[in-house]
Structure 1
Amino acid sequence: MIQKIRARLTVVVVDETGMSTVEYAIGTIAAAAFGAILYTVVTGDSIVGALTNIITRALNTSV
């Protein structure tokens, strides 16, 4: 009886079924959060102004 319980506990402790699904879910949530933060930063007024300034200076070069 004790050997059966020990064998079952070993299977429960060692069994990692579903771990990859959880890892993918956490990775997806992290990527979505990073994308949301990056979008917020890039669409801010200071970043848009700086990018517009860089593009304008690059297009208005005099030779």
Structure 2
Amino acid sequence: MCKVVRARLRALVCRARAARRDAGMVTSEYAMGIVAAVAFAAMLYKVVTSGAVSAELQGIVKRALDARM
């Protein structure tokens, strides 16, 4: 029984060490992630500042400020 437990623990430790070695992103993955985040932010900015969306957001804010409790 003790040998079985030791073998399982050893296997878990080996898996944990292997996972730690490959847990993070490399520099190229960080760069691609940043490029994707900036592209998404630029697209979102364009959508939010477009005429229709801007007018709708202003309408929502005006209705919220004019609401009576």
TM-score, scaled relative to structure 1: 0.65
Superposition CA RMSD, Å:
1.5
Runs (4+) of structure 1 exceeding 6 A deviation are none
Where structure 2 has 5 or more consecutive residues not aligned to the other structure, the ranges are 1-24
Q: What is the one-letter code of the residue matched to 1:26?
A: M
Aligned-pair CA distance for 1:62: 3.9
2-structure distance, mates of 1:33, 1:62: 40
2-structure distance, mates of 1:44, 1:38: 10
Identity %: 47
Where structure 1 has 5 or more consecutive residues not aligned to the other structure, the ranges are 1-18
Residue 57, structure 1, aligned to residue 51, structure 2: no
Among candidates 28, 35, 41, match of residue 41 of structure 2: 35
Q: Which residue of 1 aligns with 2:30?
A: 24
